[in-house]
Amino acid sequence: MLRDTPDAALSLALDALREERFDLGDDRVARALRERGSEWVAQDVRIGHPNPSWNTGFVDAMLSDTLLTVVPGLWRHATPTLVMASAQAHREGAELVAFSHVTVRGWTSSNDAAPLLKAALDRVEASGNVVSREPLHGVPNDGAPASQAFVREVLGWR
């Protein structure tokens, strides 16, 4: 929960996610929410490459857990992950939900983008507008943009 409007809360979250190397998605989420008459505002962000080359995957595997991983050019590529950042009005301001969806396709299914999401949410909390923060282990499929059903239906993310 943030002491702010939903649009301002979403903007704050997106700025923090971009600082952690997440890329903004297109406008499909906003269009879908408008068409459904939803009270949510949302934007998807992504990180990782869904189809790394054989060489990239091999180099990532060979360098993992070695001292060479501190060299920026040799950093492991993040597992393809979509984060849905969404906000809606709440009596205290805005409810902000940021939930990650790791792909089930590709060469790995680890949630190595989780520390980047945590760092982004720590930035949001540092803004001083946060009323409360709770970890989520899942989002119900009740029309919320952060739910797996919404992400699958609107963005085709699996």
Please report whether residue 56 resides in a domain: no
Answer whether residue 16 is part of any domain.
yes
Q: pLDDT grade, residue 103 (50/70/90)?
A: confident
Would residue 115 count as lying in a domain?
yes
Handedness of CA 90, 92, 94, 97 (dihedral sign): negative
Q: Is the pTM of this model over 0.85?
A: no
pLDDT in tens, 54-96: 455 555 555 555 655 555 554 555 678 999 999 999 998 999 9
The residues pairing with 130 across neighbouring beta strands, listed in sequence order, are 2
Q: Is residue 146 one of the residues assigned to a domain?
A: yes
Query: Which has the higher per-residue pLDDT, 76 or 11?
Result: 11
Q: What is the mean pLDDT of the chain?
A: 84
- Say if residue 51 is exposed, middle or buried (CB neighbours under 10 Å; 0-12, 13-18, 19+): exposed
Residues 6+ away with beta carbon under 8 Å from 7: 41, 87
- pLDDT over 80 at 108, yes or no: no
In a domain, 60, yes or no: no
| Within a domain: 81 | yes
In a domain, 29, yes or no: yes
Specify if 117 maps to a domain.
yes
pLDDT at 152: 94
Q: Label residue 35 by pLDDT band (50, 70, 90).
A: very high
Residue 100 is part of which domain span?
6-49+75-155
The total number of structural domains that make up the chain: 1
User: What is d(CA 146, CA 87) in angstroms, rounded to the nearest whole number?
Assistant: 10
* pLDDT of 129: 87
Identify the residue with better confidence: 142 or 68.
Answer: 142
